[in-house]
Structure 1
Amino acid sequence: MSASDDVPMTAPLDAGLPSADPLDDVARGTGVALWKQIVERIEADIADGRLAPGVRLPPEVELAERFGVNRHTLRRALAMLTEQGLIEATPGRGTFIKEPPLRYPIAARTRFSEIVSREGRAPGGKLVGSRIEVATPEIAEALRLPPGAEVLRVDMVREADGVPLTVGSHWYDAERCRDLDLVVAATGSVTRALETLGLGDYRRLETRVTARPADEEERRLLSLPAGRTVLVVDSINGDAQRRPIQYSRARFAADRVQLVVKN
């Protein structure tokens, strides 16, 4: 993930299901479970383009009424569609037809907001927390600081169209960037905060990528079900003289991004 911080929706928000009567396709006594018929109907609507990426499905109670089933049956169908990666529920926003993974290039100049905007989606970010702490040996070495030096830690969640893509922890020399977290809280952008310190023209010096199951905190911040994987991107960014100014550890929801390494 970079130190910083829209594909427009192909159908209007809340477009819901196509206008054809879904009850025609959910029939009793056919030998096919009702929940499976719902899955097949929505699968077909997605495949035919009648339900486009980014479309929000109606609330559960409305869907259950339209299909003529109880909410338990409907939830079983939605759970299967979620498991297949066709829909995704985001707390506070609803259930959406899942967007394709966002292409996220990693190059010398990597900026979250610019990348998300180029993909036609709206970038967003919020500060989760910040504090001064003693640098670990790994962080001190990455930032070329003496052992025991103080660093400013800034934790953020970054989003595209309101869907959380990554939670990132960033560390800075506390003496050099002491008030950076205040600007981040006001703007939602680390890039803008660094610009106020005269460090906006930073460049990627090193990137390492690994993968592992998401922990409980990551699942909460990224709205992930149990068992999902995160891509862990450790990076060092430096100033124009290639002096390290930021060490980052970003955890991306693995099924929401496609990391692209630019040569």
Structure 2
Amino acid sequence: MKIKEHIDNLIASGNYEPGDKLPSETAFARELDVSRASLREALRVLEKEGKIIKTQGVGTFIAEPIPRFKKGIEELFSVTDTIKKEGYQAGTIGLEVASIIASKKLAIQMKVKPSTKLLQLKRIRTADGKPVVYCEDFLNIELFPLAETENFTASLFDLLENKYGLKIKYALTEINPVIANQKLVSKLEVQPNMPLLLLKQLHYDEKDQLFLYSKNYFRSDQFQFRVLRTR
């Protein structure tokens, strides 16, 4: 297990990337200063976990990471509920809450006057303590009396619906591939320039009022989105 954990760390640190070929068992055992039998057992466990792929007569390769969360993009989902449904404990770290005045750009995005007061939330959502999504939310608090002192560590959707009676009807979503900059590397504990999925969403209530603009950065090695297309 120590050998397996060491190889895990080599992959996590970027020493080996998806598609890279591992050295032969003899060379790798010599490099790690372990027996071939112990190395072979560690590789067997890694293969079972889907982290490496063995091809007879070709070699052993680092596998593409398997996303833990697979969602239909047509469904308006709560990150908290998504994490819980997969059997993980949902959490929040790095919470920042602030009242701000909408900038000209943000006002255009949210269809409000530049002087409009908004509530800005920044938080990192975790699954079993591991960062998986970085969220930035902007709420039009002129529509409901949401205070900075609220508990924003759980589902924002649940808070708005259950406490404030807000009926969330739909969201217009834009999906953009981005790479992790210095801020996102720190927030999500990923390698620099790692691909991420950015979902920009405009959320509307049952009165067709735009009440929330969100930017959610999903780790692409943890989340996979799909959509049903018909003809």
TM-score > 0.5 by shorter chain: yes
Change over 3 Å in CA distance of 1:41–1:158 after alignment to 2: same
Contact 2:66 2:221 in 1 (8 A): no
Q: 2:171 maps to which residue?
A: 205
Mapped pair 1:115 → 2:75: no
Q: CA RMSD in A?
A: 3.2
Contact 1:101 1:257 in 2 (8 A): yes
Change over 3 Å in CA distance of 1:177–1:219 after alignment to 2: farther
Mapped pair 1:44 → 2:44: yes
Contact 1:116 1:160 in 2 (8 A): yes
Mapped pair 1:259 → 2:222: no
Map 1:167-246; keep pairs closer than 5 Å.
167-177=134-144, 179-185=146-152, 187-195=153-161, 196-199=163-166, 201-246=167-212
Q: 1:24 maps to which residue?
A: none
Deviation at 1:250, TM superposition (A): 0.6
Contact 1:143 1:172 in 2 (8 A): no
Instruction: Tell me which amino acid in the other structure corresponds to 1:113.
Output: T
Deviation at 1:248, TM superposition (A): 0.3
Q: Deviations over 1:127-186 (max 9, x none)?
A: 52011222233432333212332211111111222221110100011333453442234x
Measure the CA separation in 2 of the matches of 1:163 and 1:105: 22
Q: Secondary structure at the match of 2:193?
A: coil
Q: 2:32 maps to which residue?
A: 35
Measure the CA separation in 2 of the matches of 1:180 and 1:238: 20
Q: 2:126 maps to which residue?
A: 159
Q: Which runs of 5+ in 2 are unaligned?
A: 4-25, 51-60
Change over 3 Å in CA distance of 1:139–1:226 after alignment to 2: same
Deviation at 1:235, TM superposition (A): 0.4
Q: Which moved more, 1:211-220 or 1:125-134?
A: 125-134
TM-score w.r.t. structure 1 length?
0.62
Q: 2:72 maps to which residue?
A: 105
Q: Secondary structure at the match of 2:88?
A: coil
Instruction: Tell me which amino acid in the other structure corresponds to 1:148.
Output: S
Deviation at 1:44, TM superposition (A): 2.2
Measure the CA separation in 1 of the matches of 2:103 and 2:43: 49
Change over 3 Å in CA distance of 1:219–1:160 after alignment to 2: same
- Aligned-pair identity in percent equals 17
Change over 3 Å in CA distance of 1:158–1:31 after alignment to 2: closer
Deviation at 1:222, TM superposition (A): 0.8
Measure the CA separation in 2 of the matches of 1:125 and 1:198: 23
Measure the CA separation in 2 of the matches of 1:39 and 1:226: 30
Contact 1:152 1:177 in 2 (8 A): no
Map 1:50-129; keep pairs closer than 5 Å.
52=49, 84=62, 100-126=67-93, 128-129=95-96
Q: 1:11 maps to which residue?
A: none
Measure the CA separation in 2 of the matches of 1:202 and 1:250: 18
Q: Which moved more, 1:202-211 or 1:246-255?
A: 202-211
Q: Which runs of 5+ in 1 are unaligned?
A: 1-15, 19-29, 54-82, 87-97
Measure the CA separation in 1 of the matches of 2:2 and 2:176: 39
The number of residues matched between the two structures is: 194
Q: Deviations over 1:97-139 (max 9, x none)?
A: x764311332353211222222232222245201122223343
Q: Secondary structure at the match of 1:184?
A: coil
TM-score w.r.t. structure 2 length?
0.70
